């Protein structure tokens, strides 16, 4: 990828417009005055951009806030409810979810389908069926995909996910682009989830955090300096393959002692089934922690997570850790215990207390994130919304 060094007038204009739209969509500002203050643009520039957005049907003047006779009442701006929409698609191991979102990430409609035909054609047919059910061709401007990996992001291909019934090499971006004739973007499910939380959720007030998705594996999305951590490799961060014991469990990746071989929800669930002889799900076991046998396994899970996370915290110095996917079902006291452990063992002990929180979108963070995969392109000025 060749980075342009210069910035011309057209780029600058695009950048300013994208910034204004981002500030409105993410709820950071809702008046021209606030937008000028926050963006550093002149009131005149902001007014011009807003007039244009209103004429394009992107933004509306919603209502006038009463100021009880003191000064002029500011006009409140909002994203137009009849404006552009995006489709978010989440591809998981058991099934796929599709939802329709507006630019404020309000979910307007959604659907889910289980993967019953466990072949590549079955998967593609399922996805297309779900999107057809949800898509409004007049208002949807793009489709965002959040998916299990590994991924070839350059070419929009899902490569060879482990435990995915042998389904490999799915050129999903091309398939959807050809069918729907609109832009399609893709990223890993936890990169997307991290961005959703950064723009709209519990990561709003933080510039540095790690979203840890706990499921059959452990995945991650890292926000650094307010942006998703990405580099020229186009690969995703893989906190689940941080080794916590070089003589430990063998991992599918070829390494030993990988965090996910100790603390994924599947590993923990299987241990709990053996321990209790009850065939419950991970979520169900999360509601049974007064049983000391179950409590002990969850406490050990937190120990393992804390070892892996301390290494990551020493590398990135995040402000918070967000436990997502199946991790949202863990009762508070385990999050509190994990928080106390990581703060006890990280290097910068007395500075930078690291909180452990849940995502605001809960287990929906990956689906919401798939829509944010598109919104990010709009906010960065890469996807322009044209006039009708
Ligand atoms: Zn591994």
Structure confidence at residue 6 (pLDDT): 72
C-alpha 218 to ligand 1 mean position (Å): 10
pLDDT at 247 over 80: yes
Residue 237's closest CA among 170, 362, 151? Answer: 151
C-alpha 253 to ligand 1 mean position (Å): 4
C-alpha 205 to ligand 1 mean position (Å): 32
C-alpha 240 to ligand 1 mean position (Å): 7
Q: pLDDT band for position 386 (50/70/90)?
A: confident
- The whole-angstrom separation of Cα 214 and Cα 301 is 11
pLDDT at 272 over 70: yes
Which stretches of the chain are DSSP H helices? Answer: 9-25, 32-39, 43-55, 120-134, 172-180, 189-200, 260-263, 265-276, 282-286, 292-316, 332-345, 365-379
What letter does residue 242 receive in the DSSP assignment?
-
C-alpha 258 to ligand 1 mean position (Å): 5
C-alpha 51 to ligand 1 mean position (Å): 53
Specify the CATH architecture of the domain 9-79.
Orthogonal Bundle (1.10)
Structure confidence at residue 67 (pLDDT): 62
- The whole-angstrom separation of Cα 375 and Cα 18 is 10
Phi, psi for residue 61 in degrees, rounded to 5: -90, 115
Contact 89, 96 (CB under 8 A): yes
Q: pLDDT band for position 350 (50/70/90)?
A: confident
In the chain, which residues fall in CATH 1.10.10.10? 9-79
Please check whether the domain covering 202-358 is classified as CATH 3.30.420.40.
Answer: yes
C-alpha 238 to ligand 1 mean position (Å): 9
Structure confidence at residue 70 (pLDDT): 64
User: Which residues on adjacent β-strands are paired with residue 100?
Assistant: 87, 109
pLDDT at 4 over 80: no
User: Which residues on adjacent β-strands are paired with residue 209?
Assistant: 223, 320
pLDDT at 1 over 80: no
Contact 43, 35 (CB under 8 A): no
Q: Which fold has domain 85-192+366-379?
A: Nucleotidyltransferase; domain 5 (3.30.420)
**Span 283-330, pLDDT tens digits:** 999 999 999 999 999 999 999 999 999 999 999 999 999 999 999 999
Structure confidence at residue 375 (pLDDT): 98
C-alpha 338 to ligand 1 mean position (Å): 22
Mean pLDDT of the chain: 94
Q: pLDDT band for position 233 (50/70/90)?
A: confident
C-alpha 162 to ligand 1 mean position (Å): 12
> 322 is written with which tokens?
């967000």
C-alpha 257 to ligand 1 mean position (Å): 7
C-alpha 122 to ligand 1 mean position (Å): 29
Give the side-chain half-sphere CA count within 13 A for 211.
Answer: 37
Neighbours of 275 (CB within 10 A): 14
146 CB contacts (<8 Å, ≥6 apart)? 88, 89, 90, 91, 186, 187, 188, 189, 191, 192, 193, 366, 367, 369, 370, 373
The string of DSSP letters for 154-178 reads TTTEE---TTSTT---B-HHHHHHH
C-alpha 297 to ligand 1 mean position (Å): 21
C-alpha 250 to ligand 1 mean position (Å): 8
C-alpha 267 to ligand 1 mean position (Å): 14
In the chain, which residues fall in CATH 3.30.420.40? 85-192+366-379, 202-358
pLDDT at 214 over 90: yes
Pick from 64-68, 227-231, 289-293, 298-302: least confident:
64-68
- The whole-angstrom separation of Cα 203 and Cα 360 is 8
Contact 382, 183 (CB under 8 A): no
């Amino acid at each position: 990828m060749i980075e342009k060094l210069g910035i011309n007038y057209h780029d600058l204009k695009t950048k300013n417009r994208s910034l204004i739209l981002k500030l409105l969509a993410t709820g950071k500002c809702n008046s021209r005055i606030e937008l000028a203050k926050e963006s550093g643009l002149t009131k005149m520039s902001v007014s011009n951009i807003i007039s244009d957005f209103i004429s394009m049907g992107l933004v509306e003047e919603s209502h006038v806030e009463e100021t009880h006779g003191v000064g002029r009442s500011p006009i409140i701006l909002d994203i137009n409810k009849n404006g552009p929409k995006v489709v978010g698609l989440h591809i998981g191991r058991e099934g796929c979810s599709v939802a329709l979102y507006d630019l404020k990430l309000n979910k307007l409609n959604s659907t889910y389908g289980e993967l019953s035909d466990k072949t590549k054609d079955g998967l593609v047919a399922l996805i297309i069926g779900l999107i057809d059910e949800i898509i409004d061709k007049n208002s949807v401007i793009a489709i965002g995909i959040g998916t299990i990996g590994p991924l070839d992001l350059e070419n929009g291909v899902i490569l060879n996910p482990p435990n995915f019934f042998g389904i490999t090499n799915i050129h999903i971006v091309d398939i959807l682009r050809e069918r729907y004739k609109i832009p399609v973007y893709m990223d890993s499910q936890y990169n997307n989830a991290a961005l959703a939380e950064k723009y709209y959720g519990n990561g709003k007030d933080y510039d540095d955090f790690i979203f840890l998705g706990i499921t059959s594996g452990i995945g991650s999305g890292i926000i650094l300096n307010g942006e998703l951590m990405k580099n020229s490799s186009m690969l995703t961060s893989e906190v689940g393959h941080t080794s916590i014991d070089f003589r430990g469990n063998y991992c599918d990746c070829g390494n030993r002692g990988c965090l996910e071989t100790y603390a994924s929800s599947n590993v923990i669930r299987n241990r709990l089934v053996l321990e209790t002889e009850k065939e419950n799900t991970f979520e169900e076991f999360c509601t049974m922690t007064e049983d000391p046998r179950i409590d002990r396994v969850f406490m050990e899970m937190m120990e393992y997570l804390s070892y892996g996370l301390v290494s990551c915290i020493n590398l990135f110095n995040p402000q918070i850790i967000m436990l997502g996917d199946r991790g949202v079902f863990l009762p508070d006291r385990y999050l509190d215990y994990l928080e106390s452990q990581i703060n006890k063992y990280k290097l910068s002990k007395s500075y930078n207390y690291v909180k452990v929180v849940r995502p605001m979108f809960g287990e929906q963070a990956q689906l919401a994130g798939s829509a944010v995969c598109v919104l990010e392109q709009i906010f960065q000025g890469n996807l322009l919304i044209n006039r009708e």
